[in-house]
Structure 1
Amino acid sequence: MSEGEGRYRQFVEASTDCMKELDRDGVIRFVAGMGCLALAPEGGDRLIGMPWLALWPDEARDMVARVLERAAAGERVDFVSPRRTSLGAMRWWEVTVAPVVAADALDHFIVISRDVTERVELQVALESINELLQARLNESVARSANASTRYGTLLERLEDEHGARREAERRVDGLAGQLDMANRALALAEAATHQAQKQHAIGQLVSGIAHDFNNMLQTVIVSLSGLQEAADELTPHQRRMLNYAVEGTRHATALTRRLLAFARSQPERAEPMDLGEVVANFVDFARHAMSGRVGIEVFRQPGDLPVWVDRHHLEQALMNVCLNARDAMEGHGEIVIEVGERPMGGVRESVRTGQVFVSVADNGGGMPEEVRDRLFEPYFTTKEGGSGLGLAQVYGMVAQAGGGVEIESESGVGTKVRLVFPRYAGPLD
């Protein structure tokens, strides 16, 4: 494969779209792109050899078959249709089917599918708002017209015309208020569209950086593996430093997965595990990462604390919270981590089997109320040069696991961040 072909293939595989090549009979013979993970999380190669028509629900197959017939006749066809992912979630797809002709005959089809669910949902919401506002506006105009006629008759018969005039003015003011509300709704919709475009661009950038970082990380991992094979020749101090480096690469690999998940390029890998053991293994590495001026003390309730989470996502969330605690204490102080269980109730009413939590407390300066209220907003930060995505990702990770985040903070006293998860009822093995 030439350098140009290799680079082109990297671009195709990094795309958020799902790209497929069909033979003349509509059978898939090549797939690429991150968008294919929605159809086959275990890998797009599973789709090769399947009829493309079989991927669509029964009610859409006649329409898709007609699309293939039109494309076979030389026409490029675009359409939008809903289809469920492999996990059962209903998503909207914008699909382009283009024929490829060789020697004046159809050779194969190129199919590009793009997830446009957010755009469709936004359009539906805007149409609903417009319909509601139009109905209210029509009702108000009709009432105003009826009122004008009624008050005109009264003005001819009665001398007290001022009350009717004031009522008509109030109704006109009401119409102006509704028009103002419509303008504000339109502004909010435009802002939401801009934010969605911004999120998509950030996802593309993060995905590319994560892939490049992962390639460089492989060189470090291979080098450390070679040192581990000769560990007997190292001093105890060197072996300890080597273990720290290996643990650091493990967390760097987890960070890469987290970045790819943020960019929708990496699926979640949840599994049952003991929260206490995860925290105990994490703290050894965190102590080294916090530097010598920040101490970490752990209190753990006895017994198993089973949860169903993605280990790497959980470790990254804990690291984000610990780094925020370190910054709040200006690089020196004591972080207290507590792991335990509490009875039902609390964060989520839907949790019926008790709750397991891990809390991180610092003795920094705390937060005022206006900061606490916006703590988990994306892009909100009080740090110079901060991205405002760390705690937003923490909140998203815990919410995805069915839990919640609690904040206890007071200016001048300190902050405690508590991650609460539903207790996993199954076996840990």
Structure 2
Amino acid sequence: MNDDNRTPAETPGRDRYRNLFESMDEGFCIIEFFDGPHGPMSDYIHIEANAAYERHAGIPDVVGQKVREMVPDEADGWVELYGGVLKTGNPIRFRRELVATGRHLEVSAFKVGDPHEPHVAVLFNDITDRIRAEAAQRELNETLERRIADTLAEREAVDEALRQAQKMEAVGQLTGGIAHDFNNMLAVVIGSLDLLLRRVGETDPRAKRYVESAMEGAKRAATLTQRLLAFSRQQPLRPEPIEINRLVSGMSDLLRHSLGGHIKLETVLSGGMWRTHADPNQLENVILNLAINARDAMPDGGKLTIETQNTWLDDRYAAANLGAISGQYVMIAVTDTGTGMPDEVVAKAFDPFFTTKEVGKGTGLGLSQVYGFVKQSGGHVKIYSEPGVGTTVKIYMPRVTTVTEDVEVAAEAGQLPMGEFQETILVVEDEAIVRQFSVDALTELGYRVLEADSALAALSIIEARSDIALLFTDVVMPDINGAKLAREAKLRQPNLRVLFTTGYTRNAVVHNGTLDVGVDLIGKPFTIEELGAKVREILDRA
């Protein structure tokens, strides 16, 4: 037996365990009950610990330290756990964060030693990095889930917007075709009534009243068809440079008269406004339509605010609003303090013939006309509404930096512009009843009139005669349209003047909603006064 009372066989085994104890990555310690001044089972003292324990616990020189000295703020929990192990003899395994160091530990505690003098062995494993990695992974997963949910919601919104756009396009094509047919019929009705009214005159007041009533109804029907064309983006526009603040200010009296005394009108006009290029008459109609809608939403009175502002629609907004294009815009916002609209009504607000008003109090074409004009002008329109609070309609018209000033020739007021019998006009129209009205109207205006029911027939007349001053032709005709006819006619008579007419503007003389340069057009239906003024303007042009 050697000096430390160990046999040679015992020493290598003890050394192996000691080496394992000191070199293992897990923290390991043995503690025993310490009967100190705090009462029975109030504390435990460390009697052995390896280097990994001190490293994981973040506390140096652990041996000889008591639990309450090492971690005073959380000692009660540890003392209770150790006491439970000694009392029951059952091992426990748990995780705990050390408040003092912020490290996360995985702990195993079990009873060891003599039953009469037991100890608690504690095995620590620092799992802080794993806990943090798991937390980071959870956060990443949650972020991915949120992004996926947002993407799905955006996709659903885009799909819904696409369905809405396709529906609006399909309805627009339908309404445009209907408006075209109605305009041809109304051209005959209004023109015939106009001629009849000139024949009746003052000789028969009752007949005159009947004709005037019929004319009023026909003009209202013509207004409806114009709104249908506006929605379907098929109305011919005459854009020009517009200063929005001047346009809004110029409408103040009209708006106040239309709103009535129970609605307060306020305008908030920003300085340094950019210009846009649009049809001023149509834009005024848009603002007036919105103002009247706002008035109807405030039956007990309220406030209408028209605001102008330069704005930028970014890529994110454009992505979230199908049909919107990012860029610089002139914004006009019309805000009321009325009843507001729920989301399901806002979703249908631009649909033609959709209205929440009582029967007879609205056609359902006001907002659809707004939508059609703004889209045809390259802009964007958006409705924001909250029931019980009010509604804001924002119109975004594209900014232009350089535009060509348009020169409008104003028709002089006064008597009906008459022609001279020696001035010859060739009328080309494939629909007989419409052609007959045009012939009668121009004859009434004092012109010599020739007629043709097709482009080929018209070319034959042009080749045979050199005295034709004006070619008055429909645009939409079978075989050869009016634009091609005009080109062929000018090859034969270069000085020939041309006036187009149509009730349908998706044709050869209107592109992107705007009349081609140098083109004269009168839309169906038209009155004799309008036709006379337009013809005289063209013939008198230098």
User: Higher helix proportion, which one?
Assistant: 1
- The TM-score, its normalising length taken from structure 2, stands at 0.33
Higher normalized contact order (CA 8 Å, seq sep 6+, divided by chain length)? 2
Q: Could you say which structure has the larger radius of gyration?
A: 2
